[in-house]
Homo-oligomer: A and B are copies of this chain.
Amino acid sequence: MLRKVPKQSRSEEMVSCILAGATRVLRRTPLASTTTNHIAEVAGVSVGSVYQYFDSKETIATTLFRRHLADSAQLLRRVRTESRGYSAEKRLRMPFVELLRDHRSDIMLHQNLMGVMETSRPTAETQSLIREITNEIAAVLGEEFPAIDQDEIKLCAALRQRYSVTLVHSSMIDPTLDRDGVVLDHFDSLSKANIKALGARARSRRRARVS
């Protein structure tokens, strides 16, 4: 994805600069009206240098998005390893709350990053990161429901991930959701339904196998 993998510290610094600049810009400006020149200016480097390391502004946004995904995956893994013994519901609620807080403090930035996903087809690396996140969720569910089929658990995990994301984004858009913990209430409802559905599907499958 990077045109050139930075090997020297100077190059790494350059890339960090550009990404930091882009982050600052995307916090205030919709991606559509962001310009490469502006990113370069804010980053304190020249446009030429931006093109030294990135193919286009979409590439920059995508990189930023991948970093965000990687951070999220890491958060989930950390919480999972540190929370053994608690119920799946609790273990999955914690990172949600944290992500919610992160997003709220940088609404436009995250809207911009989401926009990247919506506009371009996800790359293999992006999909792999998403899978990593789903796997983390699935791991927690699997520890609570060891009897349930792995595929089934992965589906539930994927759905849960999706609506977590949707809820976070909804909370950024819809001001009525942005207070009194309404979003958390929704999350809890969906979470309960998610786990109940898991049980239901498990039972129906067992019945199907028996008959």
Contact = CB atoms under 8 A, between A and B. Distances in A.
A182 interface: yes
A158 B174 contact: yes
A3 to B, nearest CB: 13
B182 A186 contact: no
A79 interface: no
Select the residue from A165, A174, A194 with max chain B CB neighbours within 10 A: A174
A138 B31 CA distance: 34
Contacts of A117: 173
Given A158-B174, A174-B158, A197 B186 contact: yes
Interface residues of A, number: 43
A90 interface: no
Contacts of A174: 122, 158, 162
A155 B193 CA distance: 18
A193 to B, nearest CB: 4
23 contacts: A30-B119, A31-B32, A32-B32, A33-B119, A118-B169, A118-B173, A122-B174, A156-B182, A158-B174, A158-B177, A159-B183, A159-B186, A159-B189, A162-B170, A163-B166, A163-B167, A163-B170, A166-B169, A166-B186, A186-B194, A188-B197, A189-B190, A189-B200
